[in-house]
Amino acid sequence: MTDKNLELWESVRKVDQSKIKDANIGGHKCKSVNAIEMARMLTKALGPIGQAWKYRILWERFDNEKPIRNPSTGVMIMDGNSIIWEQSHTAMIEFSVRDKNGEWQSFEHMGHTPYRYGSGGTVYKGQAKPFKIVVDKEYGKKTITDGVKKCMSYLGVAADVYSGDLDNWEYAAQAQDEVEIEKADDSAQKLQEQIDEMAARLKDCQNFIEKASDYAQAKRSLKPHITYIGNRAASSNQKLQKPAAKAMLIIEQALSEKQKLEQQKEGEQCTK
């Protein structure tokens, strides 16, 4: 495998550790990443869902796991003569990614979630918890989320979490430093893009004012540009606020000059 084969993996393996939470799955303590954050990371690397990646459910089923028992008594819970089983919900997910030729390439993985299970019937800190049977009404959403997250992890999304690398505190600290640097680089790039966009809009405004037949037409033409630049002039970021405020001043002065010339011409016509 060449480094080129790992380009996608390397671009999405690191995750902002503020998006990671501790999880307990069947008594197993682990770390988990929010599904929306994983989708954002994949979208940033490949493109929007539906255009660059997608998924669909191939099949789903319920499985009996084991009879439900009251843990305080060990008695198996019955419904008449029928055993009440713990059940899980399983779905097979087909995950597809569009390749460089525009063709969809697919692979499959399963998602699982507990559907029906017993809860309580134990004593915690001196207090007895009543026993009850829980049915998770959001089982479908949770199963699909589980399956989709597994598929995304196989593409490398948040691989640092699922590989266990972040259990090493030195690696975790270094990885987070890299994420913070990337966030700063992205922020600087977006800032420059907005400054360049304002410069282009300012130039358009100057052309509109020069070519407009009158002041009213010029002001109508400038409305979307003035809104865009004005919003950035109200920014708390000085690097964005200062050029935006300067651009607004230039536009206001050009409009004011346009209005004065128009009024001057009207005055000259009245005196004739």
Please give the pLDDT value at position 125: 73
Same domain, yes or no: 14 and 57: yes
Q: Is residue 74 part of a domain?
A: yes
Same domain, yes or no: 56 and 147: yes
DSSP 131: P
Show Cβ contacts of residue 258 under 8 Å, excluding neighbours closer than 6 positions. Answer: 209, 212, 215, 218
Q: With contact defined as beta carbons under 8 Å apart, do 152 and 39 qualify?
A: yes
Query: How high is the mean pLDDT of the chain?
Result: 85
Looking up residue 45, the CATH number of its domain turns out to be: 3.30.390.80
Please give the pLDDT value at position 1: 46
Q: Is residue 195 part of a domain?
A: yes
Q: With contact defined as beta carbons under 8 Å apart, do 56 and 80 qualify?
A: no
Q: With contact defined as beta carbons under 8 Å apart, do 223 and 217 qualify?
A: no
Whole-number Å distance between alpha carbons of 231 and 268: 39
Same domain, yes or no: 196 and 264: yes
Question: Which range of residues forms the domain containing residue 61?
Answer: 3-166
What percentage of the chain's residues is helix, strand, coil (to nearest 5)? 55, 25, 20
Number of residues that this document lists for the chain:
272
Show Cβ contacts of residue 3 under 8 Å, excluding neighbours closer than 6 positions. Answer: none
Q: For 38-93, what is each residue's pLDDT tens digit?
A: 999 999 999 999 999 999 999 999 999 999 998 888 889 998 999 999 999 999 99
Q: Is residue 222 part of a domain?
A: yes
Highest mean pLDDT among 86-100, 119-133, 191-205, 213-227: 86-100
Same domain, yes or no: 119 and 155: yes
Q: Is residue 176 part of a domain?
A: no
Same domain, yes or no: 22 and 141: yes
Among 137, 166, 195, residue at a domain's last position: 166
Angle between helices 169-211 and 238-271 (to 10 degrees): 10
Residue 224 neighbours by CB distance under 10 Å: 10
Structural domains counted in the chain: 2
Pairing of strands 82-83, 123-124: unpaired
Same domain, yes or no: 139 and 251: no
Same domain, yes or no: 136 and 17: yes
Same domain, yes or no: 191 and 143: no
Among 133, 166, 199, residue at a domain's last position: 166
Q: Is residue 171 part of a domain?
A: no
Q: With contact defined as beta carbons under 8 Å apart, do 134 and 118 qualify?
A: yes
With tokens 């407009």, the residue in question is 212
Same domain, yes or no: 49 and 73: yes
Closest CA to 88 of 120, 61, 118: 61
Q: For 147-183, what is each residue's pLDDT tens digit?
A: 999 999 999 998 888 776 556 555 555 556 566 656 6
Whole-number Å distance between alpha carbons of 19 and 150: 17
Same domain, yes or no: 63 and 126: yes
Say what percent of the chain tops pLDDT 90. Answer: 43
Same domain, yes or no: 119 and 224: no
Closest CA to 159 of 63, 49, 29, 45: 45
Among 142, 166, 190, residue at a domain's last position: 166
Same domain, yes or no: 261 and 195: yes
Whole-number Å distance between alpha carbons of 194 and 199: 9
pTM metric for this prediction: 0.62
